[in-house]
A and B are shown apart, each in its own frame.
Chain A
Amino acid sequence: MIAVKNINKSFGNKQILNDVSISFLRGKINLIIGASGSGKSVLTKCIVGLHEVDNGVVEYDGRDFTCMNFKQRKEIRKEIGMLFQGSALFDSLTVEENVKFPLEMYTKQSEEEILERVNFCLKRVQLENANHLYPAELSGGMQKRAALARAMALNPKYLFCDEPNSGLDPQTGIIIDNLIQEITHEYDMTTIVITHDMNSVMETGENISFIHKGNMWWNGNKEDILKTDNKELNEFVYSSKIMQKFKGL
């Protein structure tokens, strides 16, 4: 479980996160939703330590990440996998080399064992025959799957996904969502997904946190979201006129 307690973050005079507290549950898909500029990405970057919080605490299974030094954080980071919005695959490496990278960096496995793990991860994301392709030769969906294979290479306890289906068609998006869901349940990971794709929310939302103007605004699951009378959340979910009419707003 990852717990975020009363975190604040500002850039200059601009307050981005305001006393945010959320618990992300183990073995579940934890979604962070919110409008663009609401602070979702900053929140995630604070959780993984790419941004330092101004105050507050981030705990990974009770371990206070915010007060750790570089070396201690490094140990936690070995337990983290992250799928970036743009995939962030290393351009100069093939798919196989990308997935190999964390294994070569941190394990003392033999070349055969590493290759076996790489092939297992690629098979898990249905990319069996893409070992020797470069990221530029892959479609958007394949890039996301390759990035997911890299993220799961070290068998992480925590998986972060930043808008995993942005730029993908709805069907491919759902395939990626289902893959994340399967992997999360299979390996009992704590998965945090940032999204503003309602298709994703309705497909995978087991624990949904709605961030509004840097504040933690609402928490629930995909069933609750349809019944809520929270004004800001309804405006976000039913943003088109036809949907507002459907909801009776």
Chain B
Amino acid sequence: MLKAFYHIGKYCLLLGRVFKKPDNFKLYGRQTINEMVGLGLGSLGLISIISLFMGAVVTIQTVAAIDSPLIPLYTVGYATRQSFILELAPTIMCLILAGKIGSNISSEIGTMRITEQIDALEIMGVNSASYLILPKIVAALFTIPMIVIYSMFLGLVGGWVVGLYSGMLTVEDYLYGIRYDFKTFDVIYALIKTLFFAFIITSIPSYHGYYTRGGALEIGKSSTKSVVYSSVSILVINYILTQLLLI
């Protein structure tokens, strides 16, 4: 328990250093754009495949679960939309990104630590925590919500493709279902969650990478820890935000 408080305190102190005024806005801006390209474009392929197939599978499962002829088939579109907007796109995609981006960030910063690149920054008088971590957080706060919206769209496209080619439901039913009783707040709720998750996905792995000590083995351990802690944090924050925003 004490160890947990130690790490939370150290994490907060690191964030204190991260959010200090940047030394050079131009360099930080350039770094942020590079990170946006890396985090955003680098994840699009994986997110596209997962979203399309998950949308298709959720649609099939929902159709298969509807036994009663009293339940209209447009419910399938409605259920797919709600699943994707409320949970699958923001939470599951962010859990996947925590694995992909998180381990990448942790190992990148960890390698910089053990090869003395962070010391080199410090010697130059650069606030290494801010220079390395702030652009990643800012980039994630901009790109991950876009990725999540893209995932929502592709998930619904996946369901539409099932409707189109499987004959299990008509495209009209599906399209009517995904528009039925649409509340804008559901998307806002998803985006609020995503912003929190984006912060977690970048800051926790950065913390583990930044304080890596030792060699290659420790980089691997930091990477694993960062994925585990960010995933657990996402699940806990997801529960808290859902309780706060939906009830």
Chain A interface (Cβ < 8 Å from any Cβ of B): 48-50, 73-78, 80, 82, 84-86, 88-91, 101-102, 104-106, 160
Contact A80 B123 (CB under 8 A): yes
Min C-beta distance of B246 to chain A, whole Å: 42
A89 vs B120: C-alpha distance in the bound complex, in angstroms? Answer: 8
CB of B123 within 8 A of CB of A73, answer no
How many contacts between A and B, using CB within 8 angstroms? 53
Which residues of A lie under 8 Å from residue B122 when comparing CB positions? Answer: 49-50, 77
- Inside 8 A of B41's CB, which chain A residues have their CB? none
Would you call the interface of chain A mostly helix, strand, loop, or mixed? mixed
CA distance A30 to B188 in the complex (A): 63
CB distance from A74 to the nearest CB of B (A): 4
The residues of A that contact B123 with a CB separation of less than 8 Å are: 48, 50, 77, 80, 82, 160
Cα of A233 to Cα of B27 in the assembled complex, Å: 48
For residue B128, give the distance in angstroms from its CB to the closest CB of chain A.
Answer: 11
Among B23, B24, B117, chain A packs the most CB atoms within 10 A around the CB of: B117
- CB <8 Å contact, B119 and A102: no
State whether B27 touches A104 (Cβ < 8 A): yes
Q: Which residues of A lie under 8 Å from residue B116 when comparing CB positions?
A: 84-86, 88
Per DSSP, are chain B's interface residues mostly helix, strand or loop, or mixed? helix
B125 at the interface (CB under 8 A from A): yes
User: Beyond A76-B125, A102-B124: 20 further Cβ-contacts under 8 Å?
Assistant: A49-B122, A73-B125, A74-B125, A77-B123, A78-B124, A78-B125, A82-B120, A84-B120, A86-B115, A88-B117, A88-B120, A89-B117, A91-B112, A91-B115, A101-B124, A104-B26, A105-B24, A105-B27, A105-B126, A106-B24
A11–B119 alpha-carbon span in the complex (Å): 19
| Cα A217 to Cα B146 with chains together (Å) | 62
Bound form: Cα–Cα A33–B116 in Å = 21
Instruction: Give the size category of B's interface with A.
Output: 10 to 19
> At the interface, yes or no: B111 with Cβ under 8 Å from chain A?
yes
**In the complex, residue of chain B having the shortest beta-carbon distance to the beta carbon of A75:** B125
Q: What is the bound-complex CA distance between A82 and B112, given in angstroms?
A: 16
* Nearest A residue (CB) for B17: A70
Contact A50 B119 (CB under 8 A): yes
Q: What are the 5 A-B residue pairs with the smallest beta carbon separation, nearest first?
A: A77-B125, A74-B125, A88-B120, A88-B116, A82-B123
Instruction: Specify which of A78, A80, A91, A104 is in contact with B117 (CB 8 Å cutoff).
Output: A91
User: What is the bound-complex CA distance between A75 and B112, given in angstroms?
Assistant: 24
How many Å lie between the Cα of A74 and that of B128 in the bound state?
A: 12
**Minimum CB distance partner of A154 in chain B:** B124
Residues of B within 8 A of A104 (CB): 24, 26-27
In the assembled complex, which residues on chain B have CB atoms less than 8 Å from the CB atom of A84?
Answer: 116, 119-120
A202 CB → nearest B CB, Å:
27
Compute how far the CA of A160 lies from the CA of B122 in the bound complex, rounded to whole angstroms: 14
B138-152: CB near A (< 8 Å → 1, else 0) gives: 000000000000000
Q: Which residues of chain B are within 8 angstroms of A106 by Cβ–Cβ distance?
A: 23-24, 124-125
Determine the chain A residues whose CB is within 8 A of the CB of B112 once the complex forms: 90-91
Give me 23 A-to-B residue pairs in the complex whose CB atoms sit less than 8 angstroms apart, sorted by A's number.
Answer: A50-B119, A50-B123, A74-B125, A75-B125, A77-B124, A80-B123, A82-B120, A86-B115, A86-B116, A88-B115, A88-B116, A88-B119, A90-B117, A90-B120, A91-B112, A91-B117, A102-B124, A104-B24, A105-B27, A105-B124, A106-B124, A106-B125, A160-B123
